[in-house]
Each structure stands twice: as C-alpha cells, then as structure tokens.
Amino acid sequence: MTSVSTLRFTAIVIAGALSGCGVAKSAQTADAQVLLRPDKLVWAPARSLPPGAQSVVLDGDPSKPALFTVRLTIPANFRIPPHKHPGTERLTVLSGSIFLGYGETFDRQNSLYLPAGSYAVNPAGVSHFSWTGEEAVVQLTAMGPWVLEYVDPKDDPRARDAAH
C-alpha cells in the first residue's frame, strides 16, 4: 500500500514540474517537452488542403526529417481529393467523423466511415481521399519531410494560389 508521504511527494514533484512550464509553442523539436492546451492553439489555413481546413503543428516540424504531429479542423461537407504521401500517415479522428477511401478516383460509395476515436494508417505511396458530412478534428502523425501529392495536379490548391 502506498504511504501518504509517498503520495504527497509525488504530488509535489508533479506540481513543481507543471508550474514552471507554461504553454509550449505549437511547433517544438522532438527533444523538447510539449504541453499544449486546446484553448491556446494558434490555427492557420491548411495550405495543402482545399480552402476551409485549418491546421496547427503540435510537435516537430513537417518540413524536417523527423517525427511531427499536426491537428486539422475539417469543415462539414468538405472534400479532400485523391492524394498520396512518400511516408506513412497515422490519423486519429478526435471529434466528428470522416469518410476515408482508397484509390486514384474520388468515390463516396467506396469509402469507410470513421467516427470519433477511429485510427487509420495510410501506407507510403497509397492514394487515398476523404470527405466529411460534419465538422471533424483529426490528428496526423508522420515522419517528415511531409509531402502531399495530389493524383490530379489540378486539385492542388497550392497550384491555384501560385497562379493568382
């Protein structure tokens, strides 16, 4: 059985560790401690996705060859065209739901419903797409440098931005 003094010591250590930390910036190195509260996240447009999606880097740097984690808010009735990545993508649905399909053609009929709590692994080089019926928040973890390559280059919002 745990003694009261051991519990008190543990509580003091935890309180001391947390009191001096503050809220970490949203992008840190893999060696840094990261403590983030959802009300302190700074969201920005997800430039590699169609307009409307928002993202925040929670940890790491997607442009560097290391592990990173990004959170995305995807609006209701949103469509992410078929695309692939050179690395494996790990996706967790935190709230709402998404539909995920595989292949080089967007096909709502051949997609899987993923409610909050779902987890998916999209292997490197496998074309996939997604869509929402309701707003969703998803978290993506992968190794950088991160690249999103659309099957049809006309679907790439970065190409449209460069043309204007």
Domains of the chain and CATH, by start: 25-163 (2.60.120.10)
User: How far apart (Å, rounded) are the C-alpha atoms in residues 71 and 59?
Assistant: 10
Q: pLDDT, tens digit, for every residue of 2-47? A: 443 333 332 332 233 333 322 234 455 557 788 999 999 999 999 9
| Gap between the Cα atoms of 1 and 136, Å rounded | 44
**pTM for the complete prediction?**
0.79
Question: pLDDT tens across 92-106, in order?
Answer: 999 999 999 999 999
